[in-house]
Structure 1
Amino acid sequence: MTTALLTHADGLLHVNPPGMPEQVARLAYVQRALEDIDLLRVDPPLADDAAIARCHPQSYIDFVRSRIPTHGYAGLDRETDAETFLCPTSENAIWRAAGGAVKAVDMVLDEEVTNAFVAMRPPGHHAEQKLPMGFCIFGNVAIAAKHALEMHGLDRVAVVDFDVHHGNGTQALLQDDPRALVVTSQQMPLWPGTGAASDRGPHGTVLNLPLAPGTDGAHAIAEYKRQVIPALIGHKPDLILISAGFDAHQDDPLAQLNWSVDTFARLTDMITETAQTLCKGRVVSVLEGGYDLDALAACARAHVQSLIKAAA
């Protein structure tokens, strides 16, 4: 079996205002970093509204469409962070980001591939049911998790989010479903200010792992061994999804963790090895943050190489 890469030029058409760290170049750098690697390359489809509606109400989906401008930029925030925008060519990028995550689940669960990486933008893990924020519009990973549960009939899934910011959206979208374990590590204190260790969700299926500024990769790996892997083993998921943000890297301008490229490779190895034990190696990874372009490219490449190693 092999590793699939789902990416598309439409992801380059979602343009944010100048100066925004979430920029077109992020995806361009990732695509370039992966262009010489032997992967099954798949065009992500546009998600249908029914898939998105498993996490977001149709009224919100319609709101997003209605805000796409004919020129310039349109702010999408509802009294949040004034960082989430649309441009005239955003629609296909947004719907393909969700559709790619859904398609990757289909490919992995239909045993076309062992695992998959979805390299699209905008990211998704901050988007709540009716609340866009932090560059995120739809909860791509949560949509994929719900698709796996509802359309493939899985008993349990797990999400592991190692982005430096708390995956508040993924938690909000999945915490009411006891079939979904949500594990998210994040620098604390840091925007959006959520993700305390005491917050376990209504069913005890949320594991928040706050990390102090300056935390290095060795400490993070030790905490994943101590807390995350046992949580995955206890939940017994049929599929593991990764919110792959690379902004915990020591060079990232938006945070202060001191992870290296090797940290992300080792965390990926730990997750894929656990997946091999629990769920036939089934892993779907979806790009989230990462705002130093060179670090993002290097980390994404190392992450995908770990996925390939696991699929061999």
Structure 2
Amino acid sequence: MLTAYITHPSCERHEMGADHPECPERLGAIQDHLLIKGLMDCMQPYTAPAATHEQLLRVHTGMWVDTLTALSPPDGYVRVDADTAMNAHTLEAARHAAGAAVLAVDLVMRGEVPNAFCAVRPPGHHAARGQGAGFCFFNNASVAVAHALTQHGLQRVALVDFDVHHGDGSEDIWAGDERVLLCSSYQQGLYPFRDEAPAAANVVLAPLPARSGGSAMREAIAAHWQPALAAFRPELIVVSAGFDAHREDDMGNLGWVEADYAWVTQLIVAQAQASARGRIVSLLEGGYALSALARSVAAHLKPLVE
């Protein structure tokens, strides 16, 4: 069986204006690099469906879904916050990005693929129950988690997030829900300016100082994530895979390299093999230096396709 590679053409039509870092070229850079490296030969491509209203309402309020639908412009841009805007294709792209998460869970849970990577945008982990922010509209990873719990009857799902920014939207949705373990690493003092106090017992934080490098990340994740995941024994692991902690990405300042993404992925794979029959659903979040993004995604995918 091959790893699923899920995307949709609309994800490249969403854009938020000239020079915006969350640009359509991100997906092209990833796919081109995976083709060059031969990794696309190790994956099965799928076209993402659009998430249904019911699937979105598992994690978002009806008011937020209706607000986004009403805001969707026929042309030009409509601003959601200072950094986040919609064009005529954004709503469609956001629905397909969330739909990719649903399809990925279905494929993995049905045993049709061992794991899945969703090459989608807009990203999702800053989208809370009732609002979007930070380039995000719907919380794709949380849609995946909710679908696994609701439609596949799982009792324990882990959501792990290694973006340079904390997944505050995911925390808003899942903090206090004992069925979900949320593990997040992020740079301290960076948007969304999360402090170091966990919001609930099911939230495990690994905040990292600026310029701390990959060794600090490995130590923190081994100390905090690894024992929590082992004790929780997830039946599925959903990954918010952000690559903006790379040393070439000026969105943050953690100084990671490709080997660091390979290391954290190998840790996730080991836990999935121990408790989840190897089942992993990974979704693209951040990563804005195109070459570094593409190389880091390849480093992330190698342990999955192997």
Mapped to 2, the partners of 1:197 and 1:110 lie a distance apart of 38
Q: Which moved more, 1:96-105 or 1:83-92?
A: 83-92
Unaligned runs of 5+ in 1: none
Mapped to 2, the partners of 1:97 and 1:110 lie a distance apart of 20
Mapped to 2, the partners of 1:94 and 1:34 lie a distance apart of 23
Mapped to 2, the partners of 1:63 and 1:27 lie a distance apart of 27
State the shift of 1:15 in Å. Answer: 1.1
**RMSD of aligned residue pairs (Cα, Å):** 1.0
* Equivalent position of 1:259 in the other structure: 256
Mapped to 1, the partners of 2:50 and 2:212 lie a distance apart of 38
2:65 to 61, 64, 67: 61
* Equivalent position of 2:19 in the other structure: 19
* Equivalent position of 1:276 in the other structure: 273
Mapped to 1, the partners of 2:237 and 2:184 lie a distance apart of 13
Contact 1:275 1:283 in 2 (8 A): yes
* Equivalent position of 2:46 in the other structure: 42
What amino acid maps onto 1:61 in structure 2?
A: V
Query: Superposition pairs for residues 223-302 of structure 1, below 5 Å?
Result: 223-302=220-299
Mapped to 1, the partners of 2:177 and 2:143 lie a distance apart of 13
The superposition leaves residues 242-263 of structure 1 with CA deviations (integer Å, 9 ceiling, x where unpaired) of 1000001011111100100110
Aligned: 1:216 with 2:213: yes
TM-score w.r.t. the length of structure 2 is 0.96
What amino acid maps onto 2:186 in structure 1?
A: Q
State the shift of 1:278 in Å. Answer: 1.0
Mapped to 2, the partners of 1:16 and 1:33 lie a distance apart of 24
Mapped to 2, the partners of 1:97 and 1:58 lie a distance apart of 18
The superposition leaves residues 83-129 of structure 1 with CA deviations (integer Å, 9 ceiling, x where unpaired) of 11110122221101000011100110110011000000000000011
State the shift of 1:264 in Å. Answer: 0.2
**SS of structure 2 residue aligned to 1:231:** helix
Contact 2:73 2:88 in 1 (8 A): yes
Mapped to 1, the partners of 2:288 and 2:104 lie a distance apart of 24
* Equivalent position of 2:80 in the other structure: 76
Contact 1:200 1:208 in 2 (8 A): no
State the shift of 1:215 in Å. Answer: 1.3
What amino acid maps onto 1:197 in structure 2?
A: E
Contact 1:197 1:207 in 2 (8 A): no
* Equivalent position of 1:198 in the other structure: 197
- Identity of paired residues, percent? 39
Unaligned runs of 5+ in 2: none
Aligned residues: 302
